[in-house]
Amino acid sequence: MPRTSAERTRRQILDAAYESFYQRGFARSSVDEIAAMAKVTKRTLYNHFESKDSLLASVLEAQRELSGSRIQKHQERYSGNDQQFVSVLFEELRKWSEKPRWAGAGITRLALELADLPGHPARLVARRHKSEVQEWLAHMLHKAGTRRAAVKARELQLLIEGAGVLMLISGDRSYADTAAILAKRLVSA
């Protein structure tokens, strides 16, 4: 929790930027708009972040940390055999996609928006995040007794990402159910 005035201001800017980037995308979000949403001047924003690019990287870093915290908080829900693990995983994906104004995984969407900028700092944060997710999947599959857990984690992540993107594009939430069926076959093979 931010304690100083500077930390609170930085948090306000990060929250406003997250909202703008998530809802409008990186290219369509302006620094002026983000500053107004955060109730700070543009100068104050630039005192905390050297550029819009570094602001995006900081937003994604904060989201990466939050994502890890949420997973740890609900770790026990994901325990059990690999079939239970996969069921809960895709059940949660479907529930998340049914929330109002759901717009897919923000880190994935923003990384895709920056596809032509491989060295962009936000792409590096996204790469690290996806790697951590894959490591967590491998850990959970190994804990559940799945053979070749690392290989299956990579395949499982592909199903998660694919289902998320197809649900976003089509609006059809049943892609989560289809991916869950395939994932159960995958982990038991």
Domains and CATH numbers, the chain: 1-49 (1.10.10.60), 59-188 (1.10.357.10)
Look at residue 168 and tell me whether its pLDDT is greater than 80. yes
Average pLDDT, rounded, for the chain: 90
Q: Work out the percent of the chain whose per-residue pLDDT is above 70.
A: 96
pLDDT band at 151 (very low <50, low <70, confident <90, very high): very high
Look at residue 1 and tell me whether its pLDDT is greater than 70. no
Helices first, then strands: H and E counts in the chain: 9, 0
**Residue 13 · residue 49 · CB < 8 Å:** yes
Give the count of alpha carbons within 13 A of 40, CB side only.
Answer: 24
Mean pLDDT is lowest, of 68-82, 114-128, 174-188, for: 68-82
pLDDT at residue 73, as a whole number:
66
| Nearest-angstrom CA–CA distance, 70 and 48 | 26
Look at residue 52 and tell me whether its pLDDT is greater than 80. yes
pLDDT digits (tens, 9 = 90+) for 78-123: 777 899 999 999 999 999 999 988 888 888 888 888 888 888 888 8
Q: What is the mean pLDDT of residues 144-163?
A: 96
Pick from 70, 56, 66: nearest CA to 18: 56
Amino acid identity, position 122: A
0.85 exceeded by pTM: no
Mean pLDDT is lowest, of 20-29, 54-63, 72-81, 97-106, for: 72-81
Identify the residue with better confidence: 74 or 78.
78
**Residue 144 · residue 81 · CB < 8 Å:** yes
Pick from 74, 161, 47: nearest CA to 111: 161
Measure the CA angle with vertex 109, ends 47 and 31; round to 5°.
25
pLDDT at residue 130, as a whole number:
92
Q: How many CB atoms lie within 10 A of CB 39?
A: 11
Tokens of 151: 């290989």
